[in-house]
Each structure stands twice: as C-alpha cells, then as structure tokens.
C-alpha cells in the first residue's frame, strides 16, 4: 500500500456526467491520482477519454440516459466487467429547469427529480451492493449550495439537491460500518453550462460575485482536490459530510 493517503493507484472510479464540466474535472483529478475511469453520459466522452488515457489510465465510456433508472444495473455491470472492480462512485450528472414557482410545470419537476435524486439513489444502491460485498468503497454525491439554501426559480433543483444532502447522510448512517464512505461535495457558483444564464445576466452576476469572498466564479478544476480527498484513504473516517467548495459563499 502506498504511503501517500491520496494515492488511488489500482482503483476504479465510475463518474456520471464525465464528458463535460465538473464531471470531467473530477474524472481527470481521480485519474491523475491513479484511478481508472468509467464515464457515464448520454454521449461519448472523447475529450475526457483522450486526457485520461494520456495519464496512463484505463478508460471506458458508457452511454446511458440517467433520466430513467432502466440502465443502472447494466452500467455497474459493465464498469466491473470491463475494468475488473468498482471502488469509487461519483454521482455528478444532473439537470436544472428554471421558472417562477407559480408557473413551474410537472414535467420540469419530474425531469429534475428523476435525474438528480431518483437515479442517484438507485445508482448508489447498485454500486453500494458491490462495495458492501467487498467491504470497502467510496461514494461521492455532487450536491449544491441549494442543499443549504433555497435559491430562486429552481424549485425542483432545490428540492433535489436538498434531498441529496439528506440521502448522503442516510446512506452514511447505514453503510459506514460496512466499509463504505458516503459523502458529498457542494460546489459553489461554478462557471459551467448550468450557470450560463446567471453569468449572462449582468445584475445577477454582479450580485453573486459580490457575495463570494474569493471574488470569482469557481472553475471546474477547483472541485478535483475535494473529489480526490473523498475518494481516498485520507477520508476513511469521514462519513455523511457535505463539503462546500464555494469560494467562501456560505461563510459570508
């Protein structure tokens, strides 16, 4: 065993939404620490694949739509079948819908809850069964500032991310003694596709930047270190934590 508690050599990580943005940054950080990567996304992830392989790691791309639970069993089976094991699950894939609450549709509610919460639980369940059987594993959920706060015009997203924080704690309570760590990262305001509308709105952009002590939007790469920590031996006694990576937003 390496003396470096952050070393992920020989580990396999399954990362959802690893083709772009935060998911890609997390996958690359885990690969840099030594992990092989199974990417899950609706489309192939050639850019992520190229970068992971350049680091000398194995990479597989699993194309699946997580708006439904139907592909979940096959996702876990393929990751284990192709890469030999499963040590780390990162539930990163998510969607957002924006509208005033008085106008918000049932379709937009269901789409977000199904992807951001329902599929996350059942993917964690499928991976957790494998991890519990082997006595070890790390599950990392990607939460949000809206796991702590209410937000504006994103009712289903807020509900899903608040629910995800509770689910993280619930699974930690059940699985900690079985050798499986379940924690979450709560990104602050990050420069991703999900926040493009906010950044393009001069008033909202100025309001958000004025609240962030670091005085900048976060970059996808800012998430990598937290992911490596929660995926590694360094976090073996960390269970049920929601780790903010937010430039100080919650401290303000």
For the annotated catalytic residues, the residue numbers are 157
132, with CB counted inside 10 A (0-12, 13-18, 19+), is: middle
Q: Hey, which bits of 134-200 come out as E strands?
A: 137-142, 180-187
37 touches 64 (CB < 8 A): no
Q: What is the largest CA-CA distance in the chain?
A: 56
CA distances for 195 relative to 24, 59, 65, 167, angstroms = 16, 28, 22, 24
CA dist., res. 169 & res. 115, Å (int): 19
- Give me Rg for the CA atoms of the chain: 17
CA-based torsion, 11, 16, 22, 25: positive or negative: positive
In three-state form (DSSP H/G/I as H, E/B as E, the rest C), the secondary structure along 194-251 is: HHHHHHHCHHHHHHHHHHCCCCCCECHHHHHHHHHHHHCHHHCCCCCCEEEECCCHHH
């Amino acid at each position: 065993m390496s003396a470096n508690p952050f070393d992920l050599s020989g580990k396999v990580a399954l990362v959802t939404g690893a083709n772009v943005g935060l998911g890609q940054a997390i996958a690359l950080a885990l690969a840099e620490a030594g992990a092989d990567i199974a990417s899950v996304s609706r489309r192939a992830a050639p850019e992520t694949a190229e970068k992971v392989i350049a680091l000398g790691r194995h990479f597989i791309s699993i194309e699946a739509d997580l708006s439904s639970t139907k592909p979940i069993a096959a996702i876990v089976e393929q990751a284990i079948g192709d890469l030999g094991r499963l040590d780390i699950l990162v539930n990163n894939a998510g969607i957002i819908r924006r509208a005033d609450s008085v106008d918000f549709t049932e379709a937009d509610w269901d789409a977000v809850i199904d992807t951001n919460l329902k599929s996350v639980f059942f993917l964690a369940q499928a991976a957790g069964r494998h991890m519990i059987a082997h006595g070890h594993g790390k599950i990392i959920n990607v939460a949000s500032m809206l796991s702590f706060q209410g937000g504006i015009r994103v009712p289903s997203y807020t509900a899903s991310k608040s629910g995800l924080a509770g689910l993280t704690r619930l699974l930690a309570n059940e699985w900690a003694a079985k050798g499986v760590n379940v924690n979450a990262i709560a990104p602050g305001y990050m420069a991703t596709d999900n926040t493009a509308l906010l950044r393009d709105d001069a008033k909202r952009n100025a309001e958000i930047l004025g609240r962030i002590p670091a005085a900048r939007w976060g970059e996808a790469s800012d998430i990598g270190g937290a992911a490596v920590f929660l995926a590694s031996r360094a976090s073996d006694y960390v269970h049920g934590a929601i780790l903010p990576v937010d430039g100080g937003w919650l401290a303000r």
